Amino acid sequence: MPPGPSRPLSAWGIHGQLWWVDPDAELVVACHSVGPAASDERRDAEQDAMCRALTEASAAWGDA
């Protein structure tokens, strides 16, 4: 589980596949991917940042 204030559940697959669930935020993110490299640290870091940004942004969605 990635470190941080929320406690998301995540699964990281090869070629950029990702499953992220944050029960506290009531958010699910699924990425289906066919990236050129099976493993890519930069891509993984960018996807982690994306999921965290979506989790943060989702807090305001109920107010819209």
* 50 inside domain: yes
Average pLDDT over every residue of 31-58: 93
Question: Which strands, in side-by-side order, build the sheet including 18-22?
Answer: 9-12, 18-22, 27-31
Residue 64 binned pLDDT confidence (cut-offs 50, 70, 90): low
pLDDT digits (tens, 9 = 90+) for 9-32: 999 999 999 999 999 889 999 999
Average pLDDT, the chain: 88
pLDDT at 35: 87
Average pLDDT over every residue of 42-62: 92
* 2 inside domain: no
Nearest Cα residue to 54 out of 6, 3, 1 = 6
Q: How many CA atoms lie within 13 A of 25 on its CB side?
A: 22
Domain extent for 36: 9-61
